[in-house]
């Protein structure tokens, strides 16, 4: 995987566009070009596997667990494993158009952990190449999208009227959370998601902890799972407005760990939208021990978004971390507006 990452373009200019921003975006062009080049490399049989209509229900049929390789419940699309070497590089190039440098590198590391799991478990579904690329609609059309997904990695992008309007659901995970044996011992792919949050909760005074630490027992896993739509999970926790300045800075840093998985300018737009919706209304809630190595869960929730994190499985060494948009997952709102306007135009 390390060799692959050196061969691939790590970042391109521009990025995803927040639904709150209406200007055209260069990344939509780059995504379309990368998708077209990849599709042009496929055989007719491969294209039949890889391409779905934009309105197909498959577009929201996402998940982050190993799915069957065939039959009911299998993922749709074409796997990295079933591509020629040149097609694989083009698929990774497409992925790079949606992610920041750090996000892209982290995605490759997540995929590489499948080799670690295979060495630990020797189970056939652990495979660094069982990641699927799926195109929805026609790249460069008025509305289209794409997905890159497999075990512990799910990226969903939607482009409407020349703008990237959604990069969620965005799911990153790590098993092991920390590699504890072998040549990669010490690797923590999602260290920021854990360390920044723990630093924040440990910095709270007793009164603040009384609000922020909701329960001493961790929630087993992220509550939203792979639901197609999600809403607020409740108001428990401590509000941004009730934090001291340095703690507020740390909470902002934690939000950026998730949101800066995508391209810098779009991440800036997303963070600006959070500010506009009311950053003082953002709430941080922790469940479980605040000591390292113990099961823990937390969430960061605002009026428009949710970040969820759980590290409880495998002796608290198996991380799930997701970013959801209450209104904009899969670009729903702007897609609805687009289709309504298109229908009226007809």
pLDDT at residue 245, as a whole number: 98
What tokens were used for 97? 């158009």
pLDDT at residue 343, as a whole number: 57
pLDDT at residue 24, as a whole number: 52
Question: Which residues contact residue 99 at a Cβ distance below 8 angstroms, ignoring those fewer than 6 apart?
Answer: 11, 107, 155, 261, 262, 263
Please say if the pLDDT value at position 6 is more than 50. no
**Distance of alpha carbon 143 from alpha carbon 159, whole angstroms:** 6
pLDDT at residue 248, as a whole number: 98
| Cβ contact 75:132 at 8 Å | yes
Please say if the pLDDT value at position 145 is more than 80. yes
The least confident of 1-15, 117-131, 159-173 is: 1-15
69-80 pLDDT, tens digit per residue, is: 667 778 999 999
Choice between 213 and 7, residue whose per-residue pLDDT is larger = 213
246-257 pLDDT, tens digit per residue, is: 999 999 999 999
pLDDT at residue 341, as a whole number: 79
pLDDT at residue 105, as a whole number: 97
60-115 pLDDT, tens digit per residue, is: 999 999 876 667 778 999 999 999 999 999 999 999 999 999 999 999 999 999 99
User: CB-based burial of residue 305 (10 Å sphere; 0-12 exposed, 13-18 middle, 19+ buried)?
Assistant: buried
Please say if the pLDDT value at position 34 is more than 50. yes
**Distance of alpha carbon 164 from alpha carbon 180, whole angstroms:** 39
15-31 pLDDT, tens digit per residue, is: 333 333 345 578 888 99
Q: Spell out the SS3 assignment of the chain.
A: CHHHHHHCCCCCCCCCCCCCCCCCCHHHHHHHHHHHHHHHCCCHHHHHHHEECCCCHHHHCCCCCCCCCCCCCCCCCEECCCCCHHHHHHHHHHHHCCECHHHHHHHHHHHHHHHHHHHHHCCCCCCCCCEEEEEECCCCCCEEEEEEEECCEEEEEEEECCEEEECCCEEEEECCCCCCCCCCCCCCCCHHHHHHHHHHHHHCCHHHHHHHEEECCCCCCCCCCCCCCCCCCCCCCEEHHHCCHHHHHHHHHHHHHHHCCECHHHHHHHHHHHHHHHHHHCEEEEEECCCCCCCEEEEEECCCEEEEEEECHHHHCCEEEEEEECCCHHHHHHHHHHHHHHHHHC
pTM: 0.90
The least confident of 23-27, 154-158, 171-175, 217-221 is: 23-27
265-279 pLDDT, tens digit per residue, is: 778 878 989 999 999
199-246 pLDDT, tens digit per residue, is: 999 999 999 999 999 999 999 999 999 999 999 998 999 999 999 999
290-345 pLDDT, tens digit per residue, is: 999 999 999 999 999 999 999 999 999 999 999 999 988 999 988 888 888 765 55
Please say if the pLDDT value at position 11 is more than 50. no
pLDDT at residue 13, as a whole number: 33
pLDDT at residue 125, as a whole number: 80
**Distance of alpha carbon 138 from alpha carbon 124, whole angstroms:** 34
């Amino acid at each position: 995987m390390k060799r692959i990452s050196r061969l691939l373009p790590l970042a391109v200019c521009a990025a995803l566009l927040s639904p709150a921003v209406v200007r055209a975006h260069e990344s939509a062009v780059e995504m379309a070009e990368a998708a077209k080049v990849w599709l042009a490399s496929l055989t007719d049989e491969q294209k039949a596997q890889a391409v779905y209509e934009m309105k197909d229900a498959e577009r929201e049929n996402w998940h982050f667990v190993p799915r069957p390789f065939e039959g009911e419940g299998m993922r749709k699309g074409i796997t990295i494993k079933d591509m020629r070497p040149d097609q694989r590089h083009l698929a990774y190039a497409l992925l790079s158009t949606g992610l920041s440098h750090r996000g892209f590198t982290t995605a490759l590391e997540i995929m590489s952990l499948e080799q670690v799991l295979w060495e630990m478990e020797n189970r056939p579904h652990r495979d660094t190449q069982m990641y699927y690329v799926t195109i929805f609609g026609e790249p460069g059309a008025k509305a289209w999208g794409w997905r890159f997904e497999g075990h512990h990695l799910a990226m969903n992008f939607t482009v409407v009227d020349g703008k990237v309007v959604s990069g969620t659901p965005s799911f990153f995970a790590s098993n092991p959370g920390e590699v504890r044996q072998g040549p990669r011992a010490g690797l923590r792919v999602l260290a920021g998601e854990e360390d920044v949050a723990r630093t924040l909760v440990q910095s709270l005074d007793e009164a603040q902890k009384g609000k922020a630490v909701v329960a001493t027992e961790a929630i087993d896993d992220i509550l939203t799972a792979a639901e197609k739509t999600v809403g607020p999970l409740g108001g428990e926790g401590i509000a941004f407005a009730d934090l001291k300045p340095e703690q507020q800075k740390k909470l902002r840093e934690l939000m950026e760990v998730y949101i800066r998985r995508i391209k810098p300018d779009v991440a800036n737009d997303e963070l600006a939208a959070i500010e506009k919706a009311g950053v003082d209304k953002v709430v941080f809630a922790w469940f479980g021990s605040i000591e390292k190595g113990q099961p823990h869960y937390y969430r960061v929730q605002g009026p428009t978004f949710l970040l969820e994190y759980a590290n409880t499985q495998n002796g608290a060494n198996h991380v799930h971390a997701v970013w959801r948009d209450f209104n904009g997952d899969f670009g729903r709102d702007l897609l609805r507006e687009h289709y309504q306007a298109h229908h009226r135009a007809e």
